Chain A
Amino acid sequence: MNIKNLKKWLGSFIFIGGLLFIFFSPGMAGTEIPKTKLPVLITSAGQSPDVMTINIVAEEAEIKYDYCDVPTAELLGAGVGLADKEPGPGFHVEINSDLDKFPKGTPYKTIIFAIGASLKGMGASGLTVESEISRLKELIDYCKKNNIFIIAAHVGGTSKRGAPGSDNERMIDTVVPFSDYIIVTKDSDNDGRFSKIAEEKGIPLTQIDYALDLVDIFKQIFQ
């Protein structure tokens, strides 16, 4: 085999290998993963326990986050530290942001919504589906006005989906079309609903096989 043929052969090999990598790269599918910045607030859209999964995955990815299950727009506006609000029944707060880098009051750059409706969770926080939706709308308005990057994450699979108009779908309708980035597990998007919203609204979307794949995604987003 002469050098010219060898180069051609190597070129084809690399091209095919690249294609195979793109098609079969483990865990993720979709558009390029966008970048965003800390500080970040993790919260719930619908009060399902999936927000705990997101928190634990963020911890695993060594992302220092603040968490509040039911923040208002006013609380979000208070920035890092969430105005030193104390947790209480139906109201959970955790402040894990690096306070040396982001002192209390630093405006959040990113918010992550863990989407999934739980009547039990909403009830424990004294919310109804209507009041939860209204709270979420206010938060999203605030984020849009203040350039806070919105990540919509749905990792609950089919158990956190439902018929059109059901609680879960209403949470999706409230958050996903207004987000800047969508992350879903494949089973969450098995009817292509998230993909359709992403396509229609031009929102980047990453589909993952398992919630655990979020660890790598979070690392890349907050690089």
Chain B
Amino acid sequence: MSREWKIKAVLVIITAAVMAIGGFQLYSHRHYMTPIIAGPGVTKATKLSEFFKGLKGTKADTNVFFLEGKEEGGKILIIANTHSNEPAAILTALVFLENAVVDKGTLIIIPQFNNSGGRNTKPGDGYPLYFEIPTEWGNKKFRMGNRNASPLDQWPDPDVYIHYPDRQLLSYLDVRNTNRTWPGRPNGPLMEQVTYGAMQIMRQEKVDIAIDIHGAETMFPVTNCIVAPEKAMRIATMTSLTVKAREGFDNHVEPSPQGFRGLSHREIGDYSDALPFLLEAPTPFLDQPTGPKSVDFLLDGKDPFLVKLSKKRKLFVPYDETGWPMDKRVGQHCSVILEIIRQYSKKFPNKQLKIRNIPRYAEVVKNGVGHYFHNPNETDKKDIYYN
């Protein structure tokens, strides 16, 4: 073999090795299952495909849990990981799923709404594939997903995504973004089918409140807030004023724009009787001018470049060397959800919801979110589901 062929052979072997190692990592990530535990309040576990059969057998199908109280009351749907790179959402949903006890009304939880996005990553941004939350019984490991569904599950992308039914022109990427494909349709692209499935839950179950949990950049004005349309504005405002006065954290209200289509806080309100709320917690990891996208940064939200930008008043939230830790984000979400429920129950006493055993902001910050996760090794197998 000549020298030239030897070099070519070595290069081919190196390329094949890189592809094999990288491919194996991505394959493992896509198929990794996080055990999630149905807590004492769970009365029914089902799949999104129960509400729209077209999702059955696809990677877009996902777990749906019902926590039904003994007394009838209002119904609330919590949607998490619409964007799987905003993981405070799934952590909050699991705090509710593993701990909530519902005395009155019904709580429905979809912990991994964009299941395909949860099995996708963003290698160009150097995303970690996993992150771990410390608990009293060891670390709980989660997949770190991406904003959009995987092209392995929905392909090809159009040049421009034409929103259904308003025909607004959106970015081509938004065809895989489950916060642009609302209200969806049964014969649309897969992600429109996902949002359609959720709309079917809301219509069939007559859901009163729909909460979509997110995270947003500190450099983006719509951060640290509750986004609500006109019909949910009163409850959102009272929630914002109350958490500020009683629990000491800011969470302002942003109106849902009528002219920007496809978002949960707009379409759920327009196409169902539910009052929608989209919660945004500051997520420094999502900002662009930062250091490496490490797991530590994802969890503690500390970044020296953002500190400098904060000093130049370029951020939309107060930010210093203490960052914006995950516990704070999850704590905010827990308190805001509980307060929305309280305000709704006050306004509509015939549709009250009574949910207990959920920590508020200060408790989550003090104990850490991992404190609220149960050990799968000490849990009855029938109560363990895989996400």
Do A and B associate with each other?
A: yes
Interface residues of A (CB under 8 A from B): 49, 52-53, 56-57, 59-60, 209-213
Known: A56-B234, A56-B237. A49 touches B242 (CB 8 A): no
Say whether A209 contacts B237, CB under 8 Å: no
Distance between A186 CB and nearest chain B CB, rounded to angstroms: 12
A57 to B245, CA, bound (A): 13
Chain A CB within 10 Å — which of B234, B241, B255 has the most? Answer: B241
Q: Does B203 contact A (CB under 8 A)?
A: no
Q: Does B244 contact A (CB under 8 A)?
A: yes
Instruction: List residues of B (236-256) whose CB comes within 8 Å of A's CBs.
Output: 237-238, 241-242, 244-245, 255
Q: Does B233 contact A (CB under 8 A)?
A: yes
Distance between B348 CB and nearest chain A CB, rounded to angstroms: 14
Say whether A212 contacts B237, CB under 8 Å: no
A53 to B242, CA, bound (A): 12
Distance between A119 CB and nearest chain B CB, rounded to angstroms: 15
Say whether B244 contacts A56, CB under 8 Å: no
Known: A52-B233, A56-B234, A59-B234. A211 touches B255 (CB 8 A): no
Q: Which 5 A/B pairs are nearest by Cβ-Cβ distance?
A: A210-B245, A212-B245, A212-B241, A56-B237, A211-B241
Residues in chain B near residue A53, CB distance under 8 A: 237, 241
Q: Which of B234, B241, B244, B255 contacts A49 (CB 8 A)?
A: B255
A52 to B237, CA, bound (A): 9
Residues in chain A near residue B234, CB distance under 8 A: 56, 59
Residues in chain B near residue A59, CB distance under 8 A: 234
A212 to B241, CA, bound (A): 6
A212 to B244, CA, bound (A): 9
State the main secondary structure of chain A at its contact with B: helix
Residues in chain B near residue A56, CB distance under 8 A: 233-234, 237-238, 241
A52 to B241, CA, bound (A): 12
Residues in chain B near residue A213, CB distance under 8 A: 245
State the main secondary structure of chain B at its contact with A: helix
Residues in chain A near residue B238, CB distance under 8 A: 56, 60
Residues in chain A near residue B244, CB distance under 8 A: 210-212
> Mind listing 23 A-B residue pairs with CB under 8 Å?
A49-B255, A52-B233, A52-B237, A53-B237, A53-B241, A56-B234, A56-B237, A56-B238, A56-B241, A57-B241, A59-B234, A60-B238, A209-B245, A210-B241, A210-B244, A210-B245, A211-B241, A211-B244, A211-B245, A212-B241, A212-B242, A212-B245, A213-B245
Residues in chain A near residue B245, CB distance under 8 A: 209-213
Closest to A57 in B: B241
Residues in chain A near residue B233, CB distance under 8 A: 52, 56
Residues in chain A near residue B237, CB distance under 8 A: 52-53, 56
A210 to B242, CA, bound (A): 9
Closest to B237 in A: A56
Distance between A175 CB and nearest chain B CB, rounded to angstroms: 22
Closest to B346 in A: A60
Closest to B234 in A: A56
A139 to B269, CA, bound (A): 37
Closest to B248 in A: A210
A209 to B241, CA, bound (A): 11
Residues in chain B near residue A211, CB distance under 8 A: 241, 244-245
Closest to A209 in B: B245
Instruction: List residues of B (253-287) whose CB comes within 8 Å of A's CBs.
Output: 255
Distance between B346 CB and nearest chain A CB, rounded to angstroms: 9
Distance between B215 CB and nearest chain A CB, rounded to angstroms: 22
Closest to A59 in B: B234
A59 to B237, CA, bound (A): 12
Distance between A187 CB and nearest chain B CB, rounded to angstroms: 11
A5 to B221, CA, bound (A): 63
Distance between A160 CB and nearest chain B CB, rounded to angstroms: 12
For the complex with contacts A49-B255, A52-B237, A211-B241, 20 further pairs of A-B residues with Cβ separation under 8 Å are A52-B233, A53-B237, A53-B241, A56-B234, A56-B237, A56-B238, A56-B241, A57-B241, A59-B234, A60-B238, A209-B245, A210-B241, A210-B244, A210-B245, A211-B244, A211-B245, A212-B241, A212-B242, A212-B245, A213-B245
Residues in chain A near residue B242, CB distance under 8 A: 212
Residues in chain A near residue B241, CB distance under 8 A: 53, 56-57, 210-212
Residues in chain B near residue A209, CB distance under 8 A: 245
Closest to A56 in B: B237
A59 to B347, CA, bound (A): 11
Distance between A54 CB and nearest chain B CB, rounded to angstroms: 10
A213 to B241, CA, bound (A): 9
Closest to A27 in B: B245
Closest to B254 in A: A49
Distance between A206 CB and nearest chain B CB, rounded to angstroms: 15
A97 to B237, CA, bound (A): 22
Distance between A154 CB and nearest chain B CB, rounded to angstroms: 15
A212 to B251, CA, bound (A): 14
Distance between B351 CB and nearest chain A CB, rounded to angstroms: 19
A52 to B244, CA, bound (A): 17
Distance between A61 CB and nearest chain B CB, rounded to angstroms: 12
A141 to B245, CA, bound (A): 36
Closest to B233 in A: A52
